[in-house]
Amino acid sequence: MPTIRILTDRVANQIAAGEVIERPAAVVKELVENSLDAGATRIEVEFSHGGRSLIRVEDNGCGMTRDDAQMSLERHATSKLVETADLDRLETFGFRGEAVPSIASVSRFELRTRRAEDPAGTEILINGGKLVHVRECGLAPGTRITVSHLFNSVPARRKFLKSDATESAHIVQTVRLYALSCPQTAFTLIEDGRVLFQSPVCTTLEERVGEIFGRQLSADLLPVSASETGLRLSGLIGKPGVNRATRHELITFVNRRPVDSRTLNYAVIESYATSLVKGRYPVAVLFLELDSAAVDVNVHPAKREVRFRSEGAVRGFVVRAVLQALREFGGGAGSREPAEAMPGDPVPPAPAGALSVSPVSPVMAQPFRAFGPASAPLPIHVPAPRVSAAPMPATASRPPQPVRPLTSAAGALMGWRYLDTAHGDYALFEAPGGLVVLDRRAAHERVWFERLQAQFAIGEVASQRLLFAVPVELDAIASALLLDRLPFLNRHGLEVAEFGRNFFRIESVPVWLDPSDAEGFLRDIIGLMREGRLDERRVDLAREELARLAAQKAVRLPPSLGESEAMALVAQLFTCNQPHTSPTGRPTHFELSRGELARRFQR
């Protein structure tokens, strides 16, 4: 039988690092939290190659003595916690005492620190958990920690890291969260020698939001301020109509700590239930303050998950506060839709006799043909270019030709007969096997998606130059992401030019994009960049994601649908490679069989 033994501190630290330090952004998070707990009013973060080769965090906090600096490298050594009862009244970001030794065990770790009253500072160098030296050094008051060669001593962990672009995006997002959390602290973020953003001390949250997200967005936000017994909510929310394709700009804090709270997120989304279409998310920066004993932050080593003692009370308070702000602005609806179900909530049982449907069997499914001048485009309204199409690199395809509706003969080959439209969005067809219901939007999106994929693949994207360029102000992070991918966007019909620090102009748009949607489309693209889904090093995947987003913007359903347009849509849908689902995975149609109809009517 194997002998049981106590693990060495080095092995124990490396095991702990697997929970606390799962990626470079976690290193930045832990070090920035320590700087804030030390009372820093200036924090500078620098990293290279997604944090793999270098992470440096420097602050002007209180610093440490030589003994405290050495003690900080021991496991569970902390100045923020004394006994178990202190967990119920935490006022600091960090408290476990695991982060610093965990980082030092899986990297080349240099700590330099000095108190203002000390004549000299202390320098400690550790390589892969082994102490190299401890000596005096010259340093301004504060602390500087440099982490290099992260996970070199743990190759298994290093190979699970994502691309540099993805890891960089996580680091940028982390620093941005803490910059929002502490407007009274000046932040500087540097990547590979380039300053991504530099925000001075701000007296208000509005100023900090303007520094990070841009003045254009901050002007579209509404203040929120509400309080009830033991609860206070403050911050900024987007006006109705200001929304995003992702949740990246739905940011919540609990007692100044950035958190991923299902309770808070769904409370905000529920408040916008009558103001947003499905699949869009509000913009918000909200701070919830409550008694430390009413929230548990000791749920996970990363400290991003929290649990409230009274989840229902917190959720209801946030919904009321956000709705009140929307009503005061005049954009909130008086009536509310049912609250959106949260993940994990019980699903109500289906009513008796609920309809059970099955997808239509593949009919006339043919490989999609790249459309050209001879093919008939879908009857979708495309805005006329304000000016003649701008010249594109190499060859530019002609704008879509005038609509040539197909005759009902195409539908007759399938045996479908158009009946009518229900609720504006659904087309009804009589088929040999029963009744077919077609989702017009989902069908259009599928056709546009495969059409745009073909255009992107051959590099023929027709664009129109705008008579008046659309100005866009972005936050520093979005600007950095966009600058790196401008050539990629220009090759795909969206011409964007830099026009100053964090300012851009949209000068040309694809012919299928309404110019009024240009800014929203660009912001949605930046959302994909932040998620790492638009990496031009993987061109095929990047084009697929871009086509999926573009298909949603290209579809503009006419208010009425005639037989010729309906049959043209069906004919083109079934020339697609995957006619049965939209690009987002929703079904495009379903069939109620004749047998099912007879059973429903008890025949």
pLDDT at 372 over 60: no
- The string of pLDDT tens digits covering residues 63-81 is 999 999 998 888 766 665 5
- The string of pLDDT tens digits covering residues 278-291 is 778 899 999 999 98
Distance from CA of residue 8 to its chain's centroid? 40
- pTM for the structure as a whole: 0.66
- Domains of the chain with bracketed CATH: 9-199 (3.30.565.10), 220-329 (3.30.230.10), 409-592 (3.30.1370.100)
Return all residues near 61 (Cβ < 8 A) that are at least 6 apart: 35, 38, 39, 40, 142, 143
- Residue 410 has phi, psi (to 5 degrees) of -60, -40
Euclidean distance between CA atoms 104 and 28, whole angstroms: 13
- The string of pLDDT tens digits covering residues 494-548 is 999 988 777 899 999 998 888 888 888 898 888 888 777 787 778 888 888 888 8
479 band by pLDDT with thresholds 50, 70 and 90: confident
pLDDT at 17 over 80: no
Residue with tokens 């033994």: 5
- First vs last C-alpha separation in the chain: 73
- Contact status, residue 223 vs residue 209, Cβ threshold 8 Å: no
Share of the chain above pLDDT 70, in %: 79
Euclidean distance between CA atoms 65 and 122, whole angstroms: 7
Return all residues near 287 (Cβ < 8 A) that are at least 6 apart: 205, 233, 234, 235, 252, 253, 256
Euclidean distance between CA atoms 257 and 252, whole angstroms: 8
Euclidean distance between CA atoms 552 and 213, whole angstroms: 25
Residue with tokens 């239930």: 273
pLDDT at 367 over 70: no
pLDDT at 406 over 80: no
Euclidean distance between CA atoms 509 and 525, whole angstroms: 13
pLDDT at 53 over 60: yes
pLDDT of amino acid 157: 76
Return all residues near 124 (Cβ < 8 A) that are at least 6 apart: 69, 70, 73, 110, 111, 112, 131, 133, 134
The mean pLDDT of 23-36, rounded to a whole number, is: 92
pLDDT of amino acid 493: 87
pLDDT of amino acid 217: 80
pLDDT of amino acid 358: 37
Which residues is 430 bridged to in the sheet? 417, 435
Angle between helices 539-554 and 440-458 (to 10 degrees): 140
